[in-house]
Amino acid sequence: KNEVEQSPQNLTAQEGEFITINCSYSVGISALHWLQQHPGGGIVSLFMLSSGKKKHGRLIATINIQEKHSSLHITASHPRDSAVYICAVLYSGGGADGLTFGKGTHLIIQP
């Protein structure tokens, strides 16, 4: 089974800290997504990557295709960043045509 592993599962940090969430996967992919799910339950797409690095405001996502690994960074973290961050991949070979998801990282930023 193609797995998507995220770490850490839970992370509590102080406002202003630099945050890193990691994601690894087992086989070749055509794209990797980072999603944000707030306590209200809605899911928002933050990034879609197939190589390199993307930046949006205080959020940075990187991917290393050779190592099958991606990271999501949050600079100058703020309590409003508190949410569940989910890594999801689209496999390039056979298998499911939709996204395969990690279990998520529950982030709490304390003021």
Told to check if 55 binds another protein by CB under 8 A, we report no
Q: How far apart are alpha carbons 111 and 53 in whole angstroms?
A: 29
- 89 contact partners, CB below 8 Å, separation of at least 6: 2, 4, 25, 29, 31, 32, 33, 99, 100
Stretch that binds another protein, among 17-25, 62-70, 75-83, 98-106 (CB under 8 A): 98-106
* Closer residue to another protein, CB minimum distance, 14 or 45: 45
Among the listed residues 13, 17, 26, 31, the single contact to another protein using CB under 8 A? 31
CA distance 82 to 84: 7
Residue ranges that bind another protein, judged by CB under 8 A: 30-31, 33, 35, 41-45, 48, 86, 88, 90, 96-104
